[in-house]
Amino acid sequence: MKKIKNIAIIAHVDHGKTTLVDALLKQSGTFSAHEKVEERVMDSNDLERERGITIFSKNASLNYNGYKINVIDTPGHADFGGEVQRILKMVDSVLLLVDAFEGVMPQTKYVLKQALEHGLCPIVVINKIDRPNSSPDQVVDMVFDLFVDLGANEKQLDFPIIYASAKNGFAKKELEDESKDMKPLFETILEHVNDPEGDENEPLQMLITNIEYDEYLGKLGTGRIYNGSLKKNQEVTLIKRDGGLVNYKVTRIFGYEGLKKAEMETAVCGDIITIAGLDKIDIGETVAERENPKALPVIDIDEPTLAMTFSVNNSPFAGKDGKYVTSRNLVERLEKELQHNVSMRVEPTDSPDSYIVKGRGELQLSILLENMRREGYEVQVSKPEVIMRTVNGVKEEPIELAIIDVADEFVGVVIEKIGIRKGEMINMIQGTDGYTRLEFKVPARGLIGFRNEFLTETRGTGILNHSFYDYGEYKGELTTRRRGVLISMDAGTSVGYSLNNLQPRGILFIAPGVDVYEGMIVGEHSRENDLVVNVCKGKKLTNTRAAGSDDALKLAPPKEFTLELALEYIDDDELVEITPNNIRLRKKNLTENERKKASKNKD
């Protein structure tokens, strides 16, 4: 058996997972001395680099003291929990990273719960101990309490603790120790991570946990060999999720050396590898011996909690920006997404131009939309809706655990705003630095559209984190947006004169010189009702000039929407039109007559 250690790094978003992987790769000699290495080298996707978050789990391997350590970096955001769940099937332990300043956060609880349920014994890494006002000892107590709350067994409770600063590249076993490198963490991994179980002489069993594409090799499947061994050009049987058997030949085998794939002739149990040649391979399926195919347990993934309707763009500006604008293009792209995104579902609707897409949260769906617009797709989407369920005749809805860090002066207004959204406070911790931590259980639908309002009310200083907690009894109707919108009554180009006259009516979303169409949303009304306005009307010109009245217009900057903000903002009768170059808000029914008819039918 090879000397192999398989480990995943799990944590709440922004607690330093990818930075820690950077330090481990550099100090293990993975990169040569002259090689220029970017920060967060594992975040290879453009969106990951722009946003500073990990979206897709990624493999790397490093060598230390004769051991090959396979390291898997996982996403920290709750919306990508499906990535974490399937990765835990591949490893024998996890590094649980916790920020020495922020402590235990909602996603810390979620990922640790998953690891404990898989029977893994985590190594706890208290990261960012160099941060001012950090309290590592206090965080260790919080982590221990969390292990107890989640029902950890005695072996799991006896977890080793490492104190680290991934950014500065050092780790230590005790806070008082002197350390200049990651050696204490490497030693702890070798000592506490179990060797892979499995028998090299048993029939082959490999579980597929990730899918990717190569333009030369086609579909590639990544996973771990649990039993037996695999050779290049070996005849195998693929056991599908429904139990069906398909015969293939494995044409190529790749292992990992650092971040790069390296071709192998043979792989043995314990190895994490990528294989080519199986063109119908999918996540959760087993690659097995041809003569004696035995399936491994299928990966269980939490069900989606949020749904949105994706439709073909039918606005007056449809087809001006994008390359892919038809329903065929849309359904092909969604089917492609399903092949590697295990926590997403796509369902048809009554209309051939619309599909219901279900996922784990707004961020997961907005990342898909952002990727689509960059690829040249045009699409319009509805307001996100939570997915209800009925258990024993009782209607239930998803409840989120929200942790809010806010300045003391804003505590009252935050409690009031969460109360309006049917939130229930479960904890309040007064800090010594002028900040208070509030913990709430809130219906997931109550948090849709809340982040923008929250940042406004706390003047941009509040921090909001939330993740799925459980299903709870339906809390009744709630209203999230309390203001109407300004709707363009005509098609044309916006004019500064008209916009200036509309400023007292509310907040504008567009600047002068922007093309608009009838039914497009151009601003937020200062009152609860919608208002139809003319933004294309220019000033009538005469030869008369008046001192003062013809001064340059003073327009406030328009409110700009990111994709996430737009999805949070819209109401039930509105859509977000997404194209490669534009994000527009619009009414579902573009003309005022259609909207009046729809309103009467609803009543």
What SS3 class is residue 344? coil
Which of 449, 366, 402, 375 is CA-nearest to residue 51? 366
Distance, CA of 406 to CA of 429 (rounded, Å): 11
Distance, CA of 412 to CA of 194 (rounded, Å): 49
Alpha-carbon distances, residue 29 vs 287, 387, 480 (angstroms): 33, 48, 53
Number of H helices, E strands in the chain: 15, 35
Binding-site entries for GTP: 14-19, 127-130
Q: 557 burial class (0-12, 13-18, 19+ CB within 10 angstroms)?
A: exposed
What SS3 class is residue 513? coil
Distance, CA of 561 to CA of 176 (rounded, Å): 48
Distance, CA of 16 to CA of 166 (rounded, Å): 7
Q: Tell me the CA end-to-end span of the chain in Å, nearest whole number.
A: 71
Alpha-carbon distances, residue 425 vs 419, 422, 435 (angstroms): 9, 10, 17
Q: 482 burial class (0-12, 13-18, 19+ CB within 10 angstroms)?
A: exposed
Binding-site entries: 14-19, 127-130
Do 2 and 268 meet the contact criterion of CB atoms below 8 Å apart? Answer: yes
H helix runs in 64-182, sequence order: 81-87, 106-117, 136-149, 154-157
